[in-house]
Structure 1
Amino acid sequence: MTSNQHNQLSAVVFDWAGTILDFGSCAPMGAFVRLFEKFGIDLTIAEARGPMGMAKWDHIHALGQLPCVAAQWEKLHGKAFSKADVDHLYEVFTPMNAAVVADFADFIPGAVDMVNTLRARGLKIGSTTGYNRPIMDIVLPIAEKGGYVPDNLVCAGDLAAGRPSPLMMYRTFADLGVWPPHTVVKVDDTGVGIEEGLHAGTWTVGLAISGNAVGLSLAEWQALDAPAQQALRETATAQLKAAGAHYVIDSVADLLPVLDDIAAKLQKGQRP
């Protein structure tokens, strides 16, 4: 890459659930609640959503550290929630999540058109996810059938650490052959996904409405009146900004003006 290309965008790296498909990032939620239910633990959807975007093992571990969960676990099982318990729950969780993921694999409106537009502009399309390989083995063929085939896929568990570490992004740079990081944009609906991009040195775009921050299905979102939508939008935007997002938009369908803005900044020598 010559130095003048260091001022041009090279790639956009997308998350999966809540970003490209599964409006509201709904597939894992019920599975987390049912998982803990199986072990006698009451967990709310809001609690289950807290660590979203992390690798699922890390997510289960984080839920086990919640005071309400830790207390229930100790009372029921007579000992503190341990890493061995996380391992056991994770083994139970993967098939539970895999069983429902296909039911929530609808594309977010505008996602495939956006990806096609970016490819037409000469950009590479990368992807990272908090899902593991067995779950993505179900999601990938569904996405492909719908016209979405990113240039790479890095899953939780592929590397020594998942989000918020930058390792999945580093692998993506290598897979796509793109550098430096400031020519890449990370698009994600979770705080840890934004941090993944920041730690890797990329621009970051948070998605307020389509993902975990609001956590409603498309039908539930569309059923709300404008003031209710705006209140949720403001809360979600504040969360993603607090995580460090350079930009926050409703969904991937709104990405083009942001990329144009970033491209203009790069031309002026500005960096994330």
Structure 2
Amino acid sequence: MNTSLTPPPAVSSAPDALSAVVFDWAGTIVDFGSCAPMGAFVRLFEQFGIDLTIEQARGPMGMAKWDHIQALGRLPAVAAQWERRYGHSLTDADVDRLYEVFTPLNAAVVPDFCDFIPGALEAVAAIRARGLKIGSTTGYNRPIMAVVTAIAAQGGYEPDNLVCAGDQATGRPTPLMMWRCFADLGICWPCTVVKVDDTEVGVQEGLAAGSWAVGLAVSGNAMGLPLAEWQALTREEQQRRRAAAADRLYQAGAHYVVDSVADLQPVLDDIAARLARGERPD
């Protein structure tokens, strides 16, 4: 306690320079189109006698996978099937059972979807060259990420930390995983951090933590197409779908939306300039 007559020094304002970029994984750094979980979700519900479409499976993407399964079970079409087959609404115990089956299903397929998104490694190198730290959060759990991180490391990508679904009391869209990143990376000022994600809840995670949020309209779940399928579209169809995906991310609150991490550097330049002028994400 300060017992002198001299007032304590004022707490300094937040720094005016970027400190870190926090990336999502699937659809952001690896797995163009965020395709790995989709087939696993469909096969999971199929094993329990429930029909699920890829479009339905994509809806809650970015959430922790337990929460994702629960959200799918609450879809009217899925809930009706479940009640007809099992005689009751989907319970938490049912979600636990589905989740236990899902994890090995997803872990088995992720090696087939771990190619880096074009430009991702170059973007990471450029961020390192800026002297920034690189954090990561994901809707995958630890067992699945043990597979993904090993493959990514062999390819040259090793972020400074990893926070998985299930590591904290709650996941996206709450800020707890981002706060864990701040603690791991030694960051005191959320406004100096940029969150980069391809899902609405991932964008909201960054906003909730007080960081800048950049959405990815083409490389991930918002578009939902593998690279070859995206490239096969006509220019007009690409533009139509890009605009729709970008609108979803802007509606979620993204400060910026670009196609993929390959387009990130000009955004970081702009955010750095805004910080230097005293602007903040909120």
User: Smaller-chain TM-score range?
Assistant: over 0.9
Identity across matched positions, percent? 72
| Conserved? CA contact 2:190–2:211, under 8 Å | yes
Q: Secondary structure at the match of 1:205?
A: strand
Summarize the alignment of residues 167-182 of structure 1 with structure 2, pairs less than 5 Å apart.
Answer: 167-182=176-191
Distance 2:185 2:89 in 1: 43
Counterpart of 1:52? 61
Deviation at 1:4? 8.1
- Matched positions, count: 271
For 1:34, which of 43, 50, 63 is the aligned residue?
43
Distance 1:136 1:25 in 2: 14
Look up the equivalent residue of 1:130 and give its one-letter code: G
Distance 2:67 2:13 in 1: 40
Distance 1:138 1:57 in 2: 19
For 2:122, which of 106, 113, 134 is the aligned residue?
113
Report whether the alignment pairs 1:13 with 2:22. yes
Counterpart of 1:257? 266
CA RMSD of aligned residues (A): 1.0
Report whether the alignment pairs 1:23 with 2:11. no
Distance 1:244 1:4 in 2: 25
Distance 2:34 2:78 in 1: 22
Summarize the alignment of residues 63-102 of structure 1 with structure 2, pairs less than 5 Å apart.
Answer: 63-102=72-111
Structure 1: 4+ residue segments shifted above 4 A = 2-5
For 2:232, which of 223, 228, 243 is the aligned residue?
223
For 1:145, which of 151, 154, 160 is the aligned residue?
154
Look up the equivalent residue of 1:36 and give its one-letter code: F
Distance 1:4 1:198 in 2: 20
Q: Secondary structure at the match of 1:7?
A: coil
Look up the equivalent residue of 1:121 and give its one-letter code: R
Deviations 1:14-61 (A, max 9, x none): 000000000000000000011001111111100000000000000000
Deviation at 1:80? 1.0
For 1:187, which of 193, 196, 213 is the aligned residue?
196
Report whether the alignment pairs 1:155 with 2:155. no
TM-score (norm 2): 0.95
Look up the equivalent residue of 1:270 and give its one-letter code: E
**Larger fraction in helix:** 1
Deviation at 1:3? 5.2
| Conserved? CA contact 2:217–2:257, under 8 Å | yes
Larger Rg: 2
Distance 1:102 1:223 in 2: 24
Unaligned runs of 5+ in 2: 1-10
TM-score (norm 1): 0.98
| Conserved? CA contact 2:14–2:189, under 8 Å | no
Deviations 1:63-122 (A, max 9, x none): 000000000000011111111100000000000000000000000000011101100110
Q: Secondary structure at the match of 2:134?
A: strand
Distance 2:84 2:191 in 1: 49
Distance 1:175 1:230 in 2: 39
Distance 2:78 2:130 in 1: 48
Q: 1:160 to 1:23 in 2, by over 3 A?
A: same
Q: Secondary structure at the match of 1:129?
A: coil
Unaligned runs of 5+ in 1: none
Look up the equivalent residue of 2:64 and give its one-letter code: A
Q: Secondary structure at the match of 1:21?
A: coil
